[in-house]
Amino acid sequence: MDSPDLVAQGDMILQQLRALQVWPFVASTPTATRTHAEVNVVVDAAPSATPDPPAFVFTQSTPEAAWTIEHGLNSFPSVTLTDADGNVIVAQVRYVDPNTVVVTFSQPVAGSAYLNM
């Protein structure tokens, strides 16, 4: 029998795995270097007309234990959270509807939420 803590932890892990999706990088040359989170990634890609997927960035400048994010993406996007120093953090993410997400932390936090399709 699963305890509520294990179920919540499993949900958070699934959310983090969804956030690790890799989207195609459109390069102007066959080989390009893109820096993200202090990691250099070399991508061999032919130029293409593939547009970037829709995304939304939410910034919470004052620490709050719950962030209500109205993103307008009309879907249930992956959510990556960072604190004010840019460190990736974990919280409970609840989808209220296709345009609203509520993020709940164990203590007040300031930072950003990156929502991607």
List, for residues 12-36, the tens digit of each pLDDT value.
666 665 655 544 444 444 444 444 4
CB pairs under 8 A, 24+ apart, for 54-62?
A: 54/116, 54/117, 55/114, 55/115, 55/116, 55/117, 56/114, 56/115, 57/112, 57/113, 57/114, 57/115, 58/112, 58/113, 58/115, 59/111, 59/112, 60/109, 60/110, 60/111, 60/112, 60/113, 61/110, 62/110
Q: How many domains does the chain have?
A: 1
- Between 43-52, 76-85, 89-98, the lowest mean confidence (pLDDT) is in 43-52
Q: What is the pLDDT of residue 31?
A: 46
* Other Cβ atoms within 10 Å of 24 Cβ, number: 12
| Higher-confidence position of 8 and 53 | 53
Summarised one tens digit per residue, pLDDT across range 62-75 is 999 999 999 999 99
Domain residues for 23?
4-116
Asked if residues 16 and 92 have their Cβ atoms less than 8 Å apart, the reply is no
| Higher-confidence position of 16 and 103 | 103
